[in-house]
Amino acid sequence: MASFDDIVRIYQVDRVELTSWIEQRWVRPVRTTQGLVFDAVDEARVALIRELRQDLLVDEDALAMVLNLLDQLYAARQMLRTVEDAIEACPESVRREIRARLSRADDPTRL
Amino acid sequence: MRDPYQVLGVAKGADIKAVKKAYRKLAREFHPDLHPGDTQAETRFKEVAAAYDFLSDAEQKAKYDRGEIDASGTPKAERRFYRTYAEGDTGTRYHDPREFFRDFQDADIFAEVFGGARAARARGTDIRATLEIGFLDAVNGAVKEITLPDGKRVKLTIPPGSEDGQVLRLKGQGGPGMGDGPAGDVNIELKVKPHPVFRRDGRDIHSEVPVTLAEAVLGGKVDVGTVDGTVSLSVPKGANSGTRLRLRGKGVPAGGGDRGDHYVTLKVVLPERPDPELSQFVEAWSARHPYSVRDRQ
């Protein structure tokens, strides 16, 4: 849990820049009566964006695209884990069936 | 820690510009948040970042270059990368599956995962497959027994006049539907094997038929293979190599009984061995009947 000022200090980001990241919803801290509160995930997100901007020289416009693609990638991975967990919880016969179907999916076109 | 210059792959004592450039290149390659599934990436990135950190302090770099200090520093607090949160529950703050997987929600298994309240009903999946068939089976039609991916054996009717790349649908033989949803289809794409003699052009069949010198000069009947058996073809007197004859209605059957034609191209073939009698005759004959064949070339 960190405040706006903590984040500026720890990650050495510009106040205006951080504000714009929040406005564009690239970083989504929780708004409380004591001001913005950054969770661990938000902190890690700030660190990532800072690195993309400053170290990897990704410009503002490209950054929106990179973040969007990353978010889709993580959403897909999370989805895949959900599916994986669901499959793991199935009886062995069902899992065997799914495995067979997936390995057939490698070459779906031959009879 | 290893020599930071070595970690970044630059020469010892390289200036800060070269160090920064090398770091950017490696960071792009190994940033763990850009490679969520690669466990090596984090180790490699941390090493690269630490080397860059160390060298980006001008005073520290100068001391290290002069050999006054070694590369060991106080270890920093363990960094938690974004990727460690992104796939956990908190990650959904930044990627709402309902937003990114809207199209998946047509399949009700995903609709349920995403809390959709639609009835469990969906059409089964379509299955796509290819089937290689012979040239004549495609032309004349055939019935093939095939095994579907799920092990089911079914009879597939190949209609006469089928073409390469044509897709035949077995309705309702695909994946089972959900709830009272209909089963999917099996879509079978035909791959037609070429034929050693026949060539197909739309509804027409083409083939080349060798004839002897005598058949070409004197004309006569020759047996010719067609897609539905052997027929007798009249070769006119004085036929030539390249002469094209039509066998009407011997082509590819079409719906409504409107068949294509079979075009036979003749090819005059001399005896396999030079024949002295023939040579003598042609010598005497051509002296009296000279003709030119390359004028227009």
Q: Is the pLDDT of residue B196 over 90?
A: yes
Residue-wise pLDDT tens digits, B109-158 = 666 665 544 445 567 777 788 889 999 999 999 998 888 766 778 888 99
* Shortest Cα–Cα distance, B16 to chain A (Å): 14
**Whether B123 contacts B109, CB under 8 Å:** no
Confidence of residue B219 (pLDDT cuts 50, 70, 90): very high
* Banded model confidence at residue B182, pLDDT cuts 50, 70, 90: confident
Nearest CA in chain B to A103: B149
- Predicted pLDDT of residue B37: 82
CA distance B97 to B80: 23
**Range list of H helices, chain B:** 4-8, 16-30, 39-56, 58-65, 82-86, 97-100, 108-113, 135-140, 213-218, 276-288
Topology adopted by domain A1-57: Multidrug-efflux Transporter Regulator; Chain: A; Domain 2 (1.10.1660)
Task: Check CB contact under 8 Å for B90 and A81.
Answer: no
Determine, for residues B91 and A41 on separate chains, whether the beta-carbon distance falls below 8 Å.
yes
Q: Which residue has the higher pLDDT, B291 or B89?
A: B291
Question: Given 3.40.50.2300, 1.10.1200.10, 1.10.287.110, 3.40.50.150, which CATH number is that of B4-85?
Answer: 1.10.287.110
| B157-179: average pLDDT | 85
Instruction: Write out the E strands in B134-288.
Output: 142-147, 153-158, 167-170, 186-192, 199-201, 204-212, 220-226, 229-235, 244-247, 262-269
pLDDT of res. A1: 81
Position with higher pLDDT, B208 vs B148: B208
Contacts of B94 in chain A (CB under 8 A): 28, 41, 45, 71, 74
Per the CATH hierarchy, to which homologous superfamily does domain B199-288 belong?
Urease metallochaperone UreE, N-terminal domain (2.60.260.20)
pLDDT at B119 (0 to 100):
45
Percent of chain B scored above 70 by pLDDT? 86
Question: Residue B84: pLDDT above 50?
Answer: yes
B272 within 8 A of B213, measured Cβ to Cβ: no
Residue B108's pLDDT is: 61
pLDDT band at B106 (very low <50, low <70, confident <90, very high): low
The pair of structure tokens assigned to A74 is 């993580």
- In terms of CATH architecture, what is B127-192? Sandwich (2.60)
The amino acid occupying position B12 is K
Q: What is the mean pLDDT of residues B11-39?
A: 88
Please check whether residue A71 touches B, CB under 8 A: yes
Question: What's the whole-number average pLDDT of chain B?
Answer: 84
Among B8-17, B154-163, B179-188, which stretch is predicted with the lowest mean pLDDT?
B179-188
The stretch B226-239 carries a mean pLDDT of: 92
Residues shown for chain A? 111
**Interchain pair A75, B82: CB under 8 A:** no
CA separation (Å) from B198 to B138, B227, B228, B243, B247? 12, 8, 12, 17, 14
For residue B88, pLDDT over 80 is answered with no
Residues B53-71: tens digit of each pLDDT: 889 888 888 888 877 777 7
- For helices B16-30 and B39-56, what crossing angle results, to 10°? 160
Q: Which residues contact B17 (CB under 8 A, 6 or more apart)?
A: none
Domain B4-85 identical in fold to domain B199-288: no
pLDDT at position B228, please?
A: 85
Q: What is the pLDDT of residue B75?
A: 47
A 20-39 near B (Cβ less than 8 A): 28, 39
* B114 or B211, higher pLDDT: B211
Alpha-carbon gap, residue A64 to A68, rounded angstroms:
6
Which of A74, A80, A84, A96 to mutate to probe the B interface, most B CBs <10 Å?
A74
The tens place of each residue's pLDDT in chain A, 111 residues long, gives 889 999 999 888 999 999 999 988 899 888 777 788 898 889 999 999 999 998 888 988 899 899 989 988 988 888 888 888 888 888 999 999 888 888 876 665 655
Going from N- to C-terminal start, the domains of chain B cover 4-85, 127-192, 199-288
**B220: closest CA among B208, B237, B207?**
B237
Q: Taking the CA atoms of chain B, what radius of gyration do you get in angstroms?
A: 38
> What three-state secondary structure class fits B30?
helix
Beta strands B220-226; B204-212: pairing state: unpaired
CA distances, B67 to each of A17, B49, B63, B223 (Å): 39, 21, 6, 97
Q: Do A51 and B31 touch (CB under 8 A)?
A: yes
Alpha-carbon distance of B36 to A80, in angstroms, equals 13
Whether B102 shows a pLDDT value over 70: the answer reads no
